[in-house]
């Protein structure tokens, strides 16, 4: 099956079982202070998993665009990608294990309504328990899986591996159902049960793996098992059962409303229908792969190095296409930095394939057609994507040339390559170590083991610092509900309306970042704001804070919200029922929002303060700290709530 067929079958399968099909959230989240990208299917749904009622009900299904920056270094094998689609179905206090596991098994194995996979190629994992936290093993899931396999004539033997390391020691042992510990088969935003703070929810999960029959590679352990990374087994779905809450005494209690959070990789499921573990051979990569083949004069699969370069360019250009289509442009910070890194890595890999001229715009073009049915905004932004890639590629090729000259001078002058200098070449010019060593060896110079160790040490520290920053940014959806962050979120709504009042109604948000220390908004406007305009914007915001206006959340039909003129993200797809936050008027209430007299109305999932007066607590006032250009035709404001 192609990707569109797998996606449609999945959505139709769960729609037939009472699930509302909800649209994908943007891959670049709006009004989310905690994350650069939507990195999982559950991320946009965290408020609802935490108890907030969803406008579409208690059974949901979707295919979510996702991007994981942490996987950039992993790309190059047959299964890791940075951008992917996560198929998800959700029970918000509705059904649980007895329904979820049989449904997913049916979807995988049924040839009419599902994928028709051979159940003999399916292996599953469950939670083995956590004695330290007093959490029991998930025996219920084991029993359900045994029954499901038995109906297919398969004797599903159970194997308790407990840890991944033990799996490498003991191997398959003829098993079909494997129990692992909390590191592998437990979910919470904080990690394992012992790391969960009081009030945190979590629960066991059950993963399904597809056996592609690849011979075991002993580099990944003496014995093969489902969680082995040798390539034989690939995870294709994970059902998380959120049923526990951590108590103040470190014990666990049952949640009154238990949730199911399922996630399955669309690309991996499509690959399973082909019986080939290489996700880069599925249809959405065909056009881009053909371009690289034609321009390089070499074929995908020629050798390991060539195939790795193909995969990196294919993955990175797909991710870059979706980012650019979402309005992100190459920059030196946050989302723009990640995009720039993807583009530059692609250029280096294209060079390895012998492609020395501009090629990335042509590679990216195929993704607009590949996703035209589900994500037409990519093709609609074709010209913008092409122009930005061409510009960035030309600029980086100049940077590479400058780096080459700098390296040549270093080699001529010092006749050696220091590890610290190789690190500077990487961070300044984007030179990977292999390129630096290759050029040095052309001059008869070899890096010593001592300098290589120094370089690796610097790179390790660099990666740890990057991951630490990413961990803060990828903290898990709308998890940051600190009081100050919530205040800035509400201030953000008021600021946008104030900008429209001062600059014109055509002004709309083009990006945002909100922390507990400040807010940032990007908006379309062609010129620098005058001091008078900035003072007027500040005056309006502070006026609304002083008026102590109620902030009200209302769930309504999308078309009704649009008729009210509610501000919403350009080009985004919304469900039929949406959450709307209105600011004011003074006498508004949850029961009677009085939209006609509201100061501002926006599509938004929240959270917000109950009253604008909370923004001014302690005598704080709204103040614009900085106003600057973000990109062509887009301005950026950073502002704070601070004592005068």
Could you tell me if 269 and 6 are in contact, meaning their C-beta atoms sit under 8 angstroms apart?
A: yes
> What distance in Å separates the CA atoms of residue 589 and residue 513, rounded to the nearest whole number?
29
Q: Give all domains of the chain, ordered by start, each with its CATH number.
A: 3-280 (3.30.930.10), 290-473 (no CATH), 483-642 (3.30.980.10)
Average of pLDDT values for 268-294? 97
Each residue's pLDDT tens digit, 207-224: 999 999 999 999 999 999
Each residue's pLDDT tens digit, 398-407: 877 787 788 8
Q: List the structure tokens of 146.
A: 């045994």
> What distance in Å separates the CA atoms of residue 269 and residue 181, rounded to the nearest whole number?
25
* Tally of CB atoms within 10 A around 31: 20
Q: Categorize the per-residue pLDDT at 620 as very low, low, confident or very high, splitting at 50, 70 and 90.
A: very high
pLDDT at 476: 29
**Which range (26-35, 151-160, 378-387, 581-590) has the least confidence?**
26-35
Reduced to 3 states, what is the DSSP secondary structure of residue 210?
A: strand
Residue 281 is given by DSSP the state G
What is the full DSSP assignment across 1-40? --HHHHHHHHHHHHHTTTPEE-PPPPSS-SS-TT-SS--S
**Would the pTM of this model clear 0.75, i.e. be above it?**
no
pLDDT at 441: 84
pLDDT at 319: 97
pLDDT at 200: 86
Each residue's pLDDT tens digit, 221-265: 999 999 999 999 999 999 999 999 999 898 999 988 899 999 999
pLDDT at 128: 96
Mean pLDDT of the chain: 90
Question: What is the separation, in whole angstroms, between the first and last Cα of the chain?
Answer: 63
Average of pLDDT values for 487-512? 93
pLDDT at 409: 83
Each residue's pLDDT tens digit, 380-392: 999 999 999 999 9
Each residue's pLDDT tens digit, 294-304: 999 999 999 99
Residue 571 has pLDDT above 80, yes or no: no
Beta bridge pairs of residue 603: 580
Q: Which residues contact 276 (CB under 8 A, 6 or more apart)?
A: 212
**Which range (37-41, 539-543, 581-585) has the least confidence?**
37-41
């Amino acid at each position: 099956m192609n990707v569109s067929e797998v996606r449609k079958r999945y959505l139709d399968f769960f729609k037939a079982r009472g699930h509302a099909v909800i649209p994908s959230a943007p891959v670049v989240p709006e009004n989310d202070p905690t994350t650069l990208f939507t990195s999982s299917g559950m991320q946009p749904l965290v408020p609802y998993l935490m108890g907030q009622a969803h406008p579409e009900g208690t059974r949901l299904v979707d295919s979510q665009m996702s991007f994981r920056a942490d996987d950039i270094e992993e790309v190059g094998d047959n299964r890791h990608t940075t951008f992917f689609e996560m198929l998800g179905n959700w029970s918000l206090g509705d059904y649980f294990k007895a329904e979820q596991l049989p449904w997913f098994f049916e979807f995988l194995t049924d040839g009419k309504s599902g994928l028709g996979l051979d159940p003999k190629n399916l292996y599953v994992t469950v939670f083995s328990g956590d004695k330290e936290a007093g959490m029991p093993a998930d025996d219920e899931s084991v029993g359900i899986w045994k029954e499901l396999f038995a109906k297919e004539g398969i004797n599903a033997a159970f194997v308790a591996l407990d840890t991944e390391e033990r799996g490498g020691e003991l191997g398959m042992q003829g098993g079909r159902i494997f129990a692992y510990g909390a590191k592998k088969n437990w979910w919470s935003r904080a990690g394992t049960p012992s790391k969960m703070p009081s009030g945190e929810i979590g629960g066991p999960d059950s993963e399904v793996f597809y056996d592609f029959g690849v011979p075991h590679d002993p580099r990944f352990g003496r014995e093969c098992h489902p969680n082995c990374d040798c390539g034989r087994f690939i995870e294709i779905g994970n059902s998380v059962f959120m049923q526990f809450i951590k108590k103040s005494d470190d014990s666990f209690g049952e949640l009154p409303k238990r949730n199911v959070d399922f996630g399955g990789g669309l690309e991996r499921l499509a690959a399973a229908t082909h019986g080939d573990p290489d996700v880069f051979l599925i249809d959405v990569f065909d056009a881009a792969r053909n371009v690289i083949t034609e321009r390089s004069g070499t074929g995908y699969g020629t050798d390991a190095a060539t195939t790795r370069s193909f995969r990196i360019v294919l993955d990175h250009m797909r991710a870059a296409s979706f980012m650019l289509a979402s309005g992100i442009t190459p920059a030196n910070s946050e989302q723009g930095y990640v995009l720039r890194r993807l583009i530059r890595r692609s250029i280096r890999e294209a060079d390895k394939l012998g492609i020395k001229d501009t090629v990335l715009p042509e590679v990216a073009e195929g993704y607009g057609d590949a996703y035209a049915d589900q994500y037409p905004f990519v093709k609609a932004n074709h010209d913008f994507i092409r122009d930005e890639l061409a510009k960035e590629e030309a600029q980086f090729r100049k940077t590479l040339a400058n780096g080459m000259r700098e390296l040549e001078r270093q080699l001529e002058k010092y006749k050696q390559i220091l590890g610290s200098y190789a690190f500077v070449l990487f961070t300044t010019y984007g030179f990977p170590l292999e390129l630096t060593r290759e050029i040095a060896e052309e001059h008869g110079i070899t890096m010593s083991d001592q300098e290589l160790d120094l370089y690796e040490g610097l790179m390790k520290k660099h990666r740890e610092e990057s991951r630490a920053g990413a961990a803060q940014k990828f903290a898990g959806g709308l998890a940051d509900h600190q009081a100050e962050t919530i205040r800035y979120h509400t201030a953000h709504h008021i600021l946008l309306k104030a900008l429209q009042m001062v600059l014109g109604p055509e002004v709309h948000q083009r990006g945002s970042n909100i922390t507990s220390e400040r807010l940032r908004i990007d908006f379309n406007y062609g010129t620098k704001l005058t001091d008078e305009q900035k003072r007027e914007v500040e005056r309006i915001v502070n006026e609304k804070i002083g008026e102590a206006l109620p902030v009200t959340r209302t769930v309504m039909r999308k078309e009704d919200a649009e008729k009210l003129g509610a501000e919403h993200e350009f080009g985004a797809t919304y469900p039929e029922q949406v959450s709307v936050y209105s600011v004011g008027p003074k006498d508004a209430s949850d029961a009677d929002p009085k939209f006609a007299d509201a100061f501002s109305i926006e599509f938004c999932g929240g959270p917000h303060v109950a009253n604008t007066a909370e923004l001014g607590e302690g005598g704080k006032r709204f103040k614009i700290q900085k106003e600057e250009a973000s990109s062509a035709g887009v301005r950026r404001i950073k502002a704070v709530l601070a004592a005068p």
